[in-house]
Structure 1
Amino acid sequence: MKKLSKKTLNKSYLSWFYGNLTCFSQEHMQTFGYLCAMLPVVEELYDKKEDQKKALQTYTAFFNTEPQIGSLVVGMTAGMEEAKANGQPIDGDAINGIRAGLMGPLAGIGDSLIVGTLIPILLGIGLGLSADGSPLGAIFYIVVWNLLMWFGMRFAFDKGYSLGGKAVEILVGEQAQAVRDSILMVGTVVIGAVAASWINITTALPLPGGGMLQATLDGIFPKMLSAATVFFCWWLMTNKNISPTAVMGLLVIIAFAGVLIGFFDPGLSY
């Protein structure tokens, strides 16, 4: 019976950890990073070069998901490839079908949990630690992020390898949908909290009868301009399909024009 060695599993994991975006392109995305991660697995399980080439053909299909959570797929297919090499009724089409079926759900989970929740939380803490110009915030983010990713991705890889094909039901079943919805809700709350804490847009425009427009707005809805800016950016990116880079450029233009006409005070922090 063929069994993947710990050395090979470590090599596969490291290949994905450091090279999941290897030769990244819009056509292939993470295909070649995935292929590199499966190479040591295939080389150990199959002695003949022809068998290795045939096995690697499975992993030339398009693949793209959230890379941290995606390590689960790499570990899972390593376990499935091991079962296939031992004569179990698993072929390349079955492995590719599972890979294709998991890309979307894992991307949704990863984007909500990692990009939408974890990263904003860590950045928020880091910004707080660096509020007085201290480098502690940057150090905190670099150290904590890398530690969480190293051990988190390793856990997902090992769990995928141990589960093999049984991981499919866990990831795409009804319970998984509830988990994804919950994570998405948490991510939305975190993004809202970050926007309320770190976006501060005010106006220096005076009112004709005396007083300041900002004081009137604060009496109606505190941070009204900040909330309006967030919704405006969201509307541009979702309804008008404008890229985040273009939106940031537009905000610079609006800020510049606002200062020129006196709507914004150049001495204020926005």
Structure 2
Amino acid sequence: MDATQNTKQLDRKTLSHSFHLWFWGALTCFSQEHMQTFGYMSSMLPIIRKLYPNHDDQVKAIHAYTAFFNTNPMLGSVIIGTTASMEEARANGKDIDGETINDMRAGLMGPIAGIGDSLIDGTLIPILLGISLGMSTGGSPVGAIFYIIAWVLIAYFGQRFLYFRGYKFGDQAVGFLVGKQGAAVRRAIGVVGGVLATWVNVTTSFTLRGVDGKVFLNLQSKLDSIYPGLLTVVVTLFCWWLMSKKRVSAIWTMVILVVVSFIGVLLGVFNPGLSY
């Protein structure tokens, strides 16, 4: 019999079921002792049932998800997707056990919580609220409706995207992080990061003000609290994507940057610091 016929693979329906359990129940049975443990466990139940038809195997596999877990619910969906990929690999005989899975999520939940809380709660939500308050002038309900719709769409499709990205690259990511290539790339990132920090500097002057005229959101300060130099990295990766993936010449890449900068200055996103 062909060995591929014995390979266990998660289908789209099972993965979607797992994602929706996390999306709706990440904070299930939330307590100071367990936090999101039961929400995590619930999201893994469809995965376990699909990969392990035998009840005893299911009990043994689900035991890995009884450990404490807590992270940002929105960005944390990438951990759930990565875990699904690792569980699939474990069911197919890969050298992955419950301890490996726990080590992975223990190492990721802290950094993702810090980034997620700053990016979502400290940046995205205040921006949406600022826009909504501006639309609610005079008691109009449009602002509230906009906020509800915008937040639900961003939360759902953002989490779904991260979940399936985590599943798609999870097994490869684990092998990459612990392998020789991962070590080489981490060293290269350090060198490239030093060069970027020295020669490239991209910042934004975008702010939101309240009705009293006081600034209640400084986007650059929020970005610096998440990842100093984040915009510099994003612009660099954008240029690399244009030239490497889209085959755009260096000259046209510079033209695009000039146009983006010009529009950004007009909209108040960038401040060139010029005075006339």
Fold similarity call, TM over 0.5: yes
1:66-215 mapped onto 2 (5 Å cutoff):
66-167=72-173, 169=177, 193-194=207-208, 197-198=209-210, 200=212
Q: Deviations over 1:211-262 (max 9, x none)?
A: xxxxxxxxxxxx7xx68x99xxxxxxxxxxxxxxxxxxxxxxxxxxxxxxxx
* Runs of 5+ unmatched residues, structure 1: 179-185, 201-222, 231-270
1:33 aligns with 2:39: yes
**What TM-score results when the alignment is normalised by the length of structure 2?**
0.64
User: Is the partner of 1:147 in helix, strand or coil?
Assistant: helix
User: What is the alpha-carbon distance in structure 1 between the residues aligned to residue 152 and residue 30 of structure 2?
Assistant: 21
2:57 corresponds, among 51, 54, 74, to 51
Q: Which letter does structure 1 place at the counterpart of 2:161?
A: F
CA contact (8 A) 2:78 2:165 kept: yes
**What TM-score results when the alignment is normalised by the length of structure 1?**
0.65
Q: Which letter does structure 2 place at the counterpart of 1:142?
A: I
Q: What residue in structure 1 maps to residue 251 of structure 2?
A: none
Q: Which letter does structure 2 place at the counterpart of 1:109?
A: I
Which aligned segments of 4 or more residues in structure 1 are displaced greater than 4 angstroms? 173-176
Q: Which protein has the larger Cα radius of gyration, Structure 1 or Structure 2?
A: 1
Q: What residue in structure 1 maps to residue 9 of structure 2?
A: 3
User: What is the alpha-carbon distance in structure 2 between the residues aligned to residue 116 and residue 153 of structure 1?
Assistant: 18
Classify 1:29/1:165 alpha carbon distance in 2 versus 1 (closer, same or farther; 3 Å). same
In the alignment of these two chains, the number of paired residues is 191
1:16 corresponds, among 14, 18, 22, to 22
Classify 1:104/1:2 alpha carbon distance in 2 versus 1 (closer, same or farther; 3 Å). same
**1:20 to partner: Cα distance:** 0.2
**1:8 to partner: Cα distance:** 0.7
Q: Which letter does structure 2 place at the counterpart of 1:102?
A: L
User: What is the alpha-carbon distance in structure 1 between the residues aligned to residue 121 and residue 43 of structure 2?
Assistant: 23
**1:117 to partner: Cα distance:** 1.1
User: What CA RMSD, in Å, does the superposition of the two structures yield over aligned residues?
Assistant: 2.7
Give the % identical residues. 56
Q: Which letter does structure 2 place at the counterpart of 1:119?
A: I
